[in-house]
Structure 1
Amino acid sequence: MFSGTTDILAVLGLYFCFMLGIGFWARRSHDSASGYFLAGRRLPFWVAAFSMNATGESAWLILGLSGVAYLTGVQALWVVAGEVLGVAGAWLLVARRLNAASRESATITVPDFLGQRFPAQGKPVRLLAVAIILSMACAYIAAQMLATGKAFSVFLGWDYATGVWVGGLVTVAYTAFGGFKAVAYTDAAQAMLMLFALVAVPAVGIHAIGGLAALGQGLADADAALLLPWSLEDGSLVAMIVIASGLAVGLPFLGVPQLLVRFMAIRETRDVPKAAGMSIVVILLFDLGAVATGLVGRVLFPGLEDAETVMPELARSLFPPLVTGILVVAVLSAVMSTVSSLLNLASSAIVHDLYGQFARRSDAARREAGIGAWVTLAIGIAGCLIALRGGGVIFSLVLFAWSGLGAAFGPVVLCVLHWRGTTGPGVIAGMVTGFGTTVLWVLLFKEASHGLYEMVPAFIASLAMTIVVSRLTTRVDSSPEALPSERA
């Protein structure tokens, strides 16, 4: 155990109690499936904004992106640009229309929304969407649990398995008990803690180094390439691929279901612009803070064996135990906010989009909230068991799951909300193509393409296939009236 462990554990204990308390408080909203899985569509705009950022970032921000900046320097700023553009695009192109359209159709999940839009293909659309969500959620949860193990190992000297179980079971408990309302409000609190950490750690680190000039000199002494926005060592093509991959990191914000559900849950459609402005500012501060953390760490700890532990190492070295405890909580917040959202997403897919739609019981809809809690518990425990196998790099694993969901749903959702010519077969083709291209690119083509991020070809292929198949099929499953999103 490290010195000051008692203080860190005290802060950690208070944090866990606070999260569980929100879960108990949120239980009052479980009067229906909409209450459990969508907070009854009564989410304040500021909660939606912070929740969207916390869920979209996860451990890949505090541990993964800071690790990338540690290794590559200011080239990581291309990821920042991509994220800001992606978040802005999601709020401007998707949020308002999806909120209005899902409200009018009374749908509470993304598979539900797509299935009702195209009733002739409703069952295959729902089943395909659920299969994609569940497969990618498993990879995503595994990455977050891996991050939990790393954080506890650095901060407290715990073994990996203990870290997985402690962080995992607390998250499962408040998510299962409190449903989406607990997820959203705990996300908001966790986002504020993450923001504190990503401002405080690099600020104190820069002061310890001796200022910005000293930071720049330290990076130049370590490797002059760390100060270049791109490197031409391997040729201009590779430099362009690095830039394109960084910018494309934000594309999944347009369609990952765990974020889209927050747009659906906002209390009033007219609140969307206020949430958008807040969210864009927060994501910019998040990402710049993570990159700055990696750069500071490269100067202060130049020989780290695992670059993704740079933030915990800085926190433990620069701050007294009590503040370190708060920073431990901030790292766990990044993990727990995403895990809780993925658990809610996977649970809603199983309970509402499978059981609720296909069960023959007359009271199936009324039973969904109760069943959802048990399904969430089961999925969470399964996720912990999978994560105990260990290994993997957080940044790469999260990017794979992130792009798989984004490519499957992003182009499809954009077409449904903005193009009345979209058809059910086009939606199915787009989801299959986006998901399939992601997997095949990672397995067969990524290495040969100098590491081109799989989201680039997958998003393009999915969008093209959705449009082509929709053009080739006759739209027989919807009226010629304007879409709900168009009337909003």
Structure 2
Amino acid sequence: MGNGIILMGMVTYFLIILGMGLYFSRVEMNREKYMLGERKIPGWVLAFSERATGSSAWLLLGFTGFTFATGLSAIWMAVGSALGAIIAWVWLAKKFMIKTKENNALTLPAFIADMFDHNRKMILLTSTIVIVLFFIFYLGAQIAGAGKTLHETFGWNPILTMFICTLVMIILTFWGGFTSVVWTDMVQGILMLLTLTIIPIIALYQVYSQDLSIVDTLAETGQGMNSWTGGLTGIALGVLFFNNFSYFFGYFGGQPQLSTRFMALKNDRERKVGTLTVVFWSTISFTGAFLIGLTGLTLYGSNGVDDVEMILPHMVLDLTPAWLAGILLSGIIAAIITTGDSQLMVVVSSINEDLIRGTFGIKLSDQTLLRYSKITVVVASLLGFVMALATESLVLLIVSWAWGGVGNTFSVVILLAFFWKKYSSIGVLATIISGLVSTIIWISTPLDALITSRFSTFVIALIFGVIFSFIFPDKKPTLNASLK
């Protein structure tokens, strides 16, 4: 009976977001509306969408499990992520908005290429290759995560659960494009916020009513769990800090599924509203996720769950009535779908806008491009589904690759393009290529166990970008003066 009520709550949620997708599909589409919503979406909606997409299942499953396993030192991962997201909205969003209006760019690669007079097509080509390469696998990671959660909850065949989530992603992206994705992401962002607020409150009450102590539990568990520094000093402490804090470096405009939210801003007023929304969402959500890990450890002990990343679903099922569990578990699936459909939009726009239209210069009508975009949605989704079937280790592995190979690499490009006048088009290409190569090498060797590729990629890409800009400068200034 309990599982039936939980399932009913989740089905209701899926019907709501599918209904929203159907609603937006009724609006007449053109190329700009499909890719960026014609910049008419409210700032607070874009902010909820950006945070839901940027946090995704790694916050609800990954970070809660990481806190459960490591204790107080996990806080630096939350601080790095929240601070990176807030600074991006305060510091970079306005520059994205202004430059997008000047050049009418619809994608991150086009946005970057339009700031340079040289090697535009090569920038588009290399950017598209890197983004599509990582994001097809990244999409597979989301599908695998969704299947894992539904399998753990209901015991269903994981292939069936992955296919269901793939189908939902296809429908949402296929019907309404960017507008549909953003508005459904907003609903999912609210649901994630509720999950990360309600569960910690209930868990803290249980800790209090059972006369338990979080402080005592952390001390008894040992292994530096009760230390904000993990009980480490010197170089070991520096490694822990950089590894946990390193998500910070990937938020500076380098994640195309997040940067498009900045590009879609209508005006500065909407940006300010969005910034306040992000500060509120990040503060509540990261605090809640941190408390879930600590209270979960206190209530169930370090051996309370077989898979630490399942601590939140376990707490939802154990601490809440079935009807509420169905709603809150939907928040976890929501996070996965949020990232999945946003990644689909990135792949679609990269192939159709940056490759077909930008690199190869093939002139197609808006309706033809829309038709190709929808075909790309289906093909990319099915490829992601195949990747999800390929290996059980896909989720953790590919998220790490994508964060370094795409997020940190393109963050370097954005920062140098915005704030360094001597950055050249060859420097851009060197940044992107070195980011791709160094990520693959770094994460495939024992080096990643010492210093995460999320940090090393940023540094290596920065060094190559600067060096090659000095060696191969562009013949004349290429950056828009308004951004300097």
Do they fold alike, i.e. is TM over 0.5? yes
SS at match of 1:475: coil
In 1, Cα distance between the equivalents of 2:260 and 2:482? 17
Q: In the aligned structure 2, how far is the partner of 1:266 from the partner of 1:231?
A: 41
CA distance in 2, matches of 1:65, 1:29: 38
Deviation larger for 427-436 or 437-446: 437-446
SS of equivalent to 2:41: coil
CA distance 1:29–1:466, change in 2 (3 Å): farther
Question: What residue identity is the alignment partner of 2:36?
Answer: L
Q: 2:71: which partner in 1?
A: 73
Q: How do 1:266-285 and structure 2 match up within 5 A?
A: 266-285=265-284
Relative to the length of structure 2, the TM-score reads 0.94
Find 1:25's aligned residue among 23, 26, 38. 23
Cα shift at 1:484: 4.0
Aligned equivalents of 1:125, 1:65: Cα separation in 2: 34
The CA deviation at 1:8 is 1.5
Deviation of 1:213 after TM superposition, in Å, equals 6.3
CA contact (8 A) 1:176 1:376 kept: yes
SS at match of 2:423: coil
Cα distance between partner residues in 2 of 1:445 and 1:219? 30
Say what the alpha-carbon RMSD is for the aligned residues. 2.0
Q: Give the residue type in structure 2 aligned to 1:329.
A: S
SS in 2 for 1:444: coil
Greater shift, 458-467 or 216-225, is seen at: 216-225
CA contact (8 A) 1:205 1:296 kept: yes
Paired position in structure 1 for 2:439:
438
Q: Structure 2 residue aligned with 1:143, among 128, 141, 144?
A: 141
> Which whole-Å deviations, capped at 9, do the CAs of 1:95-148 have from their partners, x for residues lacking one?
110111011101100111122222420111011001110111123212212211
SS in 2 for 1:226: coil
Number of residue pairs the alignment of both structures matches: 480
Select between 353-362 and 322-331 the one with higher mean Cα deviation. Answer: 353-362
Equivalent pair of 1:38/1:181 in contact (CA under 8 Å) = yes
1:462 aligns with 2:461: yes
Match of residue 169 from structure 2:
171
**8 Å CA contact 2:64, 2:312 repeated in 1:** yes
Question: What displacement does 1:30 show?
Answer: 5.1
Cα distance, 1:364 vs structure 2: 4.2
Question: What is the deviation of 1:31?
Answer: 3.0
Give, as a single letter, the amino acid of the residue that structure 2 aligns with 1:386.
M
Give the match for residue 90 of structure 1. Answer: 88
What SS does structure 1 have at the residue aligned with 2:113? Answer: helix
Contact 1:140 1:402 in 2 (8 A): no
User: How do 1:71-220 and structure 2 match up within 5 A?
Assistant: 71-210=69-208, 214-220=213-219
Range with bigger deviation, 111-120 or 331-340: 111-120
Deviates more, 1:212-221 or 1:244-253: 212-221
Deviation per CA, 1:413-460: give whole Å up to 9, x if none: 11112223221111111111222222211112425xx43121212112
Aligned 8 A contact 2:143 2:385 in 1: yes
Counterpart Cα distance in 1 of 2:391 and 2:318 = 26
Q: How does 1:42-61 map to 2 (within 5 A)?
A: 42-61=40-59
Q: Distance in 2 between matches of 1:8 and 1:159?
A: 17
Q: For 1:249, what is the secondary structure of its paired residue?
A: helix
Distance in 1 (alpha carbons) for counterparts of 2:83 and 2:362: 45
Distance 2:24 2:429 in 1: 36
Q: Alpha carbons of 1:359 and 1:430: their partners in 2 closer, same or farther (altered >3 Å)?
A: closer
Q: For residues 379-404 of structure 1, what are the alpha-carbon distances to aligned partners after superposition, in whole Å with 9 as ceiling and x for unaligned?
A: 11221121123411744542321121
Alpha carbons 1:149, 1:160 under 8 Å: kept: yes
Larger mean CA deviation between 305-314 and 471-480 belongs to 471-480
Residue 225 of structure 1: how far off its partner (Å): 2.4
Residue 250 of structure 1 aligns with which residue? Answer: 248
Quote the Cα distance in structure 2 between the aligned partners of 1:383 and 1:138: 6
Q: Deviations over 1:27-74 (max 9, x none)?
A: 255532211111112221001111110110111110000110111011
Letter in 1 for 2:169: T
Q: Unpaired segments of 5 or more residues in structure 2?
A: none
- 2:424 is aligned to 423
Written as runs of structure 1 = structure 2, the 5 A alignment for 1:370-385 is: 370-385=371-386
Shift of 1:216: 2.3
Q: Is the 8 A contact 1:169 1:381 kept in 2?
A: no
Secondary structure in 2 matching 1:86: helix
Residue 327 of structure 1 aligns to which amino acid in structure 2? L
- Cα offset, 1:360, TM superposition: 6.1
Question: Are residues 21 and 485 of structure 1, via their aligned partners in 2, closer, same or farther at CA, if it must alter by over 3 Å?
Answer: farther
Out of 209, 223, 240, the position equivalent to 2:238 is 240
Q: Deviations over 1:195-236 (max 9, x none)?
A: 110111121112112269622223333336221112346x53
Structure 1 gaps, min length 5: none
SS at 1:95 equivalent: helix
Q: Is the 8 A contact 2:223 2:230 kept in 1?
A: no
Contact 2:243 2:451 in 1 (8 A): yes
Q: Matched residues in 2 for 1:360 and 1:247: separation?
A: 41
CA contact (8 A) 2:73 2:225 kept: yes
- 1:366: Cα distance to partner? 4.4
For the 8 Å contact 1:22–1:182, the answer to whether it is kept is: yes
Distance 1:104 1:22, change over 3 A: same
**When the two structures are superposed, what TM-score results if normalisation uses the length of structure 1?**
0.93
Match of residue 38 from structure 1: 36
Question: 1:159, 1:217 → 2: CA distance?
Answer: 40
Q: Is the 8 A contact 2:95 2:483 kept in 1?
A: yes
